[in-house]
Amino acid sequence: MSGILVYALHYEGAFNKNSLGAVSEGARLAQQLGTECHAIVIGEGVSDDLAGQLGNYGASKVYRVEGPEGLAQPVVDAMEAAIAAGGHEYALFGGGLLGFEIGAGLAARLDAGVCMEVTSVRVEEGKLVAERPILQDSQISSVHYRSGVGVIIGRLNAFEVAETGGTATVEDLPVEFKAHSLKAKMVQRGEQRGADVNIEDADVLVAGGRGLGKKEGFDALEELAGALGGAVAATRAVVDAGWYSYSAQIGQTGKTVSPKLYLAAGISGAIQHKVGMQASENIVAINKDSNAPIFEFSDLGIVGDLNKIVPKLTEAVKAKKGA
């Protein structure tokens, strides 16, 4: 057995960055192991051109499976078939919801070890060892696999995208889906809710979390963002609660940003949020809990009640800028 199989997620004719990073990482590791990196794509009528693009990120072969895209279980069936055909030793996923769901399902199917939130993979004695930060990133543990196949689920964008200029052969893989895999049906995919705001180009982002207490809490943040000349962003918790629009969501299932200033108000600093904003140049956090994880990676942390601080800060910024 040898080889690494990477799942690549796509939508409307393009792969997501996270998947391209995973393919790049798979290719890098395969080279070190002296084996090959293969990729697998699933969808309805995936073109040669689209599937073949993965060669440019280091895949030597791409399995193309005709089936529903965007749901996990058909991909588990497809990957089981690909591994049976190719004898891969590892299955690698970028982060994101489907990576978790497919990776976990595949581990169950193959009675395999699985490690998630992986930030780095190393080769040790001809085997892959996954590194996973735990306890709010305060420790890094090494995970060794003791199963025929090892399942590695990366943290979002943990793996760098690297173009190799290589090419891949595209092989159609017929898959007979399990009955239960077809009992979940996509009704609508990728729906955008709420007005579009452009947070990716803003130099200054003022982000709000559940600590705002209610939808109206965002009014004060909009004022502050206005004074600072920036835009408002949000955590998933408040987007899920309907307090702010999805287009402003930062993090694993939202946008990745790197403004000059990221001011977080009432945000705990969960990993899935952190991955979307940790590249910001200056991180300021206001949180009333001195133990909030966000203070571990902010440059300036203010322990206090945002309801008291934000309005006064807005006034002070206006005064300073007016001066």
Partner 1 sequence: MKICVLVKEVPDAAVEKRINPSTGRLDRGGEKNLNPFDTHAIEAAMQLKEGGALSIDEVVAVTMGPESAKRALTKAVSLGADRSVHLSDDALAGSDVNGTGYALAQVLASENPDLVLLGQQSDDGECYTIGAVVADHLQMPSLTQVIKIDVEGGALRCERQAEYGYDTVQVELPAVISVGDAINEPRYPSLKAIMGAKKKPLETKAAGDVGIEAGRVGYDNARAHCSEFAAPPAKAAGQIIEDEDTNETVEKIVAWLDERKLLA
Ligand X SMILES: Cc1cc2nc3c(=O)[nH]c(=O)nc-3n(C[C@H](O)[C@H](O)[C@H](O)COP(=O)(O)OP(=O)(O)OC[C@H]3O[C@@H](n4cnc5c(N)ncnc54)[C@H](O)[C@@H]3O)c2cc1C
Binding-site positions for FAD read 210, 235-236, 249-253, 266-273, 287
Residues marked as binding? 210, 235-236, 249-253, 266-273, 287
Region near partner 1 per CB under 8 A, out of 27-35, 52-60, 81-89, 290-298: 290-298
Using the rule CB under 6 A, which residue among 289, 315, 316, 321 binds ligand X? 289
Q: Which does 8 bind (CB under 5 to 8 A by kind): partner 1, ligand X, none?
A: none
311, amino acid identity: P
The radius of gyration computed from the CA coordinates of the chain, to the nearest angstrom, equals 22
Q: Residue 171: helix, strand or coil by DSSP? A: strand
282 interacts with partner 1 by CB under 8 A: yes
Residues 22-61 that bind partner 1 (CB under 8 A): none
Reading the block at residue 313, the tokens are 């800060």
Q: Which does 307 bind (CB under 5 to 8 A by kind): partner 1, ligand X, none?
A: ligand X
284 interacts with ligand X by CB under 6 A: no
Residues 198-227 that bind ligand X (CB under 6 A): 209-211
Between CA 77 and CA 103 the distance in angstroms is 12
CA distances from 46 to 21, 50, 139, 185, 307 (A): 20, 7, 41, 19, 51
Residues 254-273 that bind partner 1 (CB under 8 A): 260-261
How is the beta sheet containing 37-43 ordered, strand by strand?
113-118, 150-154, 90-93, 4-7, 37-43, 61-66, 169-172
Q: Which does 287 bind (CB under 5 to 8 A by kind): ligand X, partner 1, none?
A: ligand X
Reading the block at residue 309, the tokens are 């601080």
End-to-end CA distance of the chain: 70
x-marked contacts with ligand X along 51-80 as a string, rule CB under 6 A: ------------------------------
Residue 133 in contact with residue 119, Cβ under 8 Å? yes
Minimum CB distance to ligand X smaller for 33 or for 156: 156
Minimum CB distance to ligand X smaller for 253 or for 278: 253
301 interacts with ligand X by CB under 6 A: no
Between CA 228 and CA 231 the distance in angstroms is 9
Residues 222-261 that bind ligand X (CB under 6 A): 235-238, 249-254
Q: Which does 174 bind (CB under 5 to 8 A by kind): partner 1, ligand X, none?
A: none
Using the rule CB under 8 A, which residue among 44, 165, 179, 216 binds partner 1? 179
Closest by alpha carbon to 78, among 183, 175, 181? Answer: 175
Counting residues that bind ligand X (by CB under 6 A) gives 29
Q: Which does 20 bind (CB under 5 to 8 A by kind): ligand X, partner 1, none?
A: none
Counting residues that bind partner 1 (by CB under 8 A) gives 93
How would you classify residue 50: left for phi > 0, otherwise alpha for psi between -120 and 50, otherwise beta? alpha
92 DSSP 8-state letter: E
Residues 6+ apart with CB under 8 A from 160: 21, 24, 25
Minimal distance in Å, beta carbon 145 to partner 1? 6
What does the binding site for ligand X look like in residue numbers (CB under 6 A)? Answer: 97, 209-211, 235-238, 249-254, 266-268, 270, 272-273, 276, 286-289, 292, 305-307
